[in-house]
Chain A
């Protein structure tokens, strides 16, 4: 239903201009190459950039040739510019007299090879690539009478320092989280995976913003078809700007009209590394700490990275708890409605009497109570997220005292309804990655239970289950390893087996390279025959 409404809305919009806006597009036709005349080329750049106030053009003499530096103030490393570029060009060139210096190709090539003590230097002929270099935190070096310019990458701008991620805090495990700067994020990943097989492929998305996007995977583990598919879908994105990975997510997900996410996100480098090692593909986006991972399975939402760091007994226990919480938060209000309005006989007598006594004199029917309290809870939660921290306390006081306690004592809602709402709300925080879907399911189930009791609830449950089973994320069934069933993967599903018992990569994703450990066996005392690496696991 929503699909066709969306389509209708989309069709009313004018067709967007599909051509990619690269910086070269701003260059007048026929003048897309350097002319070799320094003044003209500089004028050209100045014009194209609209004589921007942060544009800096520094002209100087390189021995006896006029040259110019072009850069944008504030995004480049001025220290390095001074020491390694300007000084080298203006002072050192006068002292060196290397044999090759005076001969060779163009001046630009000679400067690049002999003078600049900067790692990332590229030669550029087209105005477009020069502009790209300048705008991508670099310096352009132009020479009088030369058709080749140099672009030097010297980024240095204010970034947030690496801190603990707010959304995924852990008790045990690495506390670093991604930041907004892409290359810092990539460095964090590189530090975790020191393998030549780690592939980082750069793409640019956003016709105006030209946002750097990096597709990361481990060659030999990731399914090349999935990597191809990711790149293909990224290339298809035609959008002015990409400010957060959420923009990309909506373009590359499999089920855009589903309430369930089919693309995962995380801001923890260790989680991304683990995902890559299982054969997934990660998509880094410049400007956001949230990294997307595909394929994304439903059961990933109940798996925390901490599960793999703490001992397997407690990990398994907490996983089961998270599944319980997921069921509670989606079904508890509906169960309350179905039981209290339709089938109270399933309650034990004392509980029924307690519930009946608290329902006495409550003006709303059970479904009304639960819906009203549910909406109030969501409003409070949303307010708590948006408000500045000092005001947040006021919200919680209003929520806890006024809406909870006072509403019950005034007889507006019954105490069980408040308990149900509170439990539902708390449980919804246990599985944060499905929180959007949870709210929809919760309200749908509640309304269906309000109309037809348990029949409605189970009808809704069946619909959701059918929908989940129909979803796929990059060719991987969303409910795997449950449906289709994969016995080996169950070790890391509801439970988390010890690492020495999980020698196999998850089959549904990492089947290309099914073993992640050699023959593994539990640790044994020295001299024990189990140490002889005889047996593997199944």
Chain B
């Protein structure tokens, strides 16, 4: 009996040590930590160009400088493959280490590929265990490779810098923060049009304008700018939203957390007043009356008077705050309307109106669903914006010059 127990224990223990064979074991120093992915159409037909930005942990503390003087601890590798996965594996021929995909923060997709089929980029994220669907999805005006090769602000690992910027911009309301999981959720909906964060390169020092990256290609140095959004129909990109339209979209979807609203001062249009958004809430209310569908978008916003250009407003005068609230309300409405009209142009239900109707009128929805593409561009959208000013800052009046 004793011998039996011994044999049993050994026969149970041995396979653990022999058969496991250090299964899946890769030492940390043998891994190339990918900070961000880029995916473009390759020049060869039917192939994809995969770009990875790999962190160099040894140089994070060392304070190495790139040529431009910005700190850098990354190397960018580019290769091609028939698919995303194939391309990543082909990259191992260049990197010499096993690519480690879990710590990446962003996936940048080039415009050309996005307009063709972004599903080529997202399936690997869902299927494979390593990459995280919490990565931000960015669509580059131009090539994703260029974005990943451009240095980014103060962050030594540029892709993380882009990720941080996306996060910061969403608090600003000028670009949505869309994770791949969010994007795929929108794809699954029959009516909602997915959106993704837009990113582009601008020449340094250049004023922000409507310049596409393609025009700037020859003029370095450039910097990365995250702003606006890309609109999709299913897996195909159909158009862009600018900053204003993007904020309109975010007002409706209730994603605005903070940001600045600038309006002209009452009584003096040359001077401006800026409000800080403190709190915002949105509700989409579909209404069916006699077969006519109307959508009411209710937005409740609270903000502070953050800045005025002296001496344009006197908050102590009765009625001034009411007037300011009215102007703020109009500014918000304008932004939302801009987004609505742009989405009608693209015939893309970026707000999820269809889903709201589905929730409220599940019975009628069955007929509406099939013809939603025809209904949407002519859908009546009403706005009910409630904008409030809560505080006016530490002072009531700016410093007054003595005359």
Query: Chain A residues in contact with chain B, CB under 8 A?
Result: 1, 3-4, 7, 340-342, 344-345, 349, 352-357, 359-362, 365-366, 448, 450-453, 455-456, 459
Contacts and interface: CB of A to CB of B under 8 A. Distances in A.
B57 A354 contact: yes
Interface stretch (B1-9, B243-251, B387-395): B1-9
23 contacts: A1-B5, A1-B6, A4-B5, A4-B6, A344-B103, A345-B102, A345-B103, A349-B103, A349-B105, A353-B33, A353-B57, A356-B28, A356-B55, A359-B28, A359-B29, A451-B16, A451-B17, A451-B20, A451-B21, A451-B22, A452-B20, A452-B23, A455-B20
A255 to B, nearest CB: 15
Contacts of A359: 27-29
**Residue picked from A3, A352, A356, A362, most chain B C-beta under 10 Å:** A356
B185 to A, nearest CB: 23
A3 B61 CA distance: 53
Interface string B153-187: 00001001000000000000000000000000000
A98 to B, nearest CB: 71
Contact of B33 (A352, A450, A451): A352
Contacts of B2: 3-4, 7
Contact of B130 (A345, A349, A448, A452): A345
Most B-side CB within 10 Å, residue of A341, A453, A459: A341
A274 B18 CA distance: 50
Contacts of A361: 29
A356 B9 contact: no
Given A7-B2, A344-B103, A450-B25, 16 more contacts: A1-B5, A4-B2, A4-B5, A4-B6, A342-B26, A344-B28, A344-B102, A345-B103, A352-B33, A357-B57, A362-B29, A366-B28, A451-B21, A452-B16, A453-B24, A459-B16
Given A356-B57, A360-B57, A452-B16, A341 B27 contact: yes
Interface string B28-71: 11010100000000000000000000010110110000000000
The prevalent SS among residues of A at the interface is helix
A362 to B, nearest CB: 7
B16 A340 contact: no
B10 A356 contact: no
A7 B2 CA distance: 10
B365 interface: no
Contacts of B22: 341, 450-452
Contacts of B25: 341-342, 450, 453
B61 to A, nearest CB: 7
Nearest to B18: A451
Contact of A357 (B10, B60, B102): B60
Nearest to A358: B57
B100 interface: yes
Contacts, number: 86
A214 to B, nearest CB: 37
Nearest 8 A/B pairs, CB to CB:
A345-B102, A357-B57, A356-B57, A4-B2, A452-B20, A359-B29, A359-B28, A353-B57
A408 to B, nearest CB: 14
The residue among A344, A448, A450 with the most chain B CB atoms within 10 A of its own CB is A344
Given A357-B60, A357-B61, A456-B20, A341 B28 contact: yes
Contacts of B3: 4
A356 B20 contact: no
Nearest to B73: A353
B9 to A, nearest CB: 5
Nearest to B8: A1
A366 B27 contact: yes
A355 B28 contact: yes
Contacts of B16: 448, 451-452, 456, 459
A353 B278 CA distance: 36
Interface string B125-162: 00000101000000000000000000000000100100
Contacts of A456: 16, 20
Centre residue among B3, B9, B28, B157 by max chain A CB count within 10 A: B28
B58 A357 contact: yes
A98 B103 CA distance: 102
A249 B61 CA distance: 55
Nearest to B10: A1
Contacts of A353: 33, 55, 57, 60, 157
A345 B28 CA distance: 11
A315 to B, nearest CB: 40
A479 B2 CA distance: 27
Most buried by B among A349, A353, A365: A353
Nearest to B32: A356
Contacts of A455: 20
A349 B160 contact: yes
Contacts of B29: 356, 359-362
Contacts of A352: 28, 33, 103
A360 B58 CA distance: 7
A359 B3 CA distance: 45
Given A354-B57, A357-B61, A459-B16, A340 B33 contact: no
A451 B132 CA distance: 26
A456 B6 CA distance: 21
A453 B5 CA distance: 27
A353 B57 CA distance: 5
A7 B130 CA distance: 50
Contacts of B27: 340-341, 359, 365-366
Contacts of A365: 27
Contacts of B60: 353-354, 357
B26 A341 contact: yes
A494 B96 CA distance: 50
Contacts of B103: 344-345, 349, 352
A455 B58 CA distance: 30
A353 B60 CA distance: 8
